[in-house]
Amino acid sequence: MTKYNNKKVVLNGITFDSQKEARRYRDLSLLERAGEIKDLELQKAFILAESVKFENESRRKPAVKYVADFVYQEKGQLVVEDVKSRMTRSLPVYRLKKHLMKSVHGLEIREI
């Protein structure tokens, strides 16, 4: 069972979190082969806040990251895409990470 009751799907040897994400990968792969997009990457991590060490704690806290489902170049622009349901788009943690992506990296997340 997955976090949001999605069914994991394997396509071309790659495991995706949902059927919707696998379909989007298939579509993006076709666009890349057709030359419409290039440099398709999956599960690319972006640092939103560096790792920190608090005085009263023995271990460092890890960096805060956002992991995009897909990243690619389209017409010379970097596109960051995430396959999200209506429910997950409204989660506070996702909304904060979306805000930080724009603030820290100047990138908007294209939600599919």
Question: So what's the pLDDT on residue 68?
Answer: 98
Considering its fold, how many domains does the chain have in total? 1
Is residue 67 a part of any domain in this protein?
A: yes
Q: Residue 4: which residues within 8 A CB-CB, separation 6 or more?
A: 85, 87, 88
Note the pTM of the prediction, 2 decimals: 0.86
Residue 24, domain member (yes or no)? no
Q: Give 46's pLDDT tier (boundaries 50, 70, 90).
A: very high
Residue 29, domain member (yes or no): no
Give me the phi and psi of 98, to 5 degrees please: -60, -45
Amino acid at 95: R
Per cent of the chain over pLDDT 70 is: 96
Q: What is the per-residue pLDDT for 5?
A: 64
- Give a yes or no: residue 12 inside a domain: no
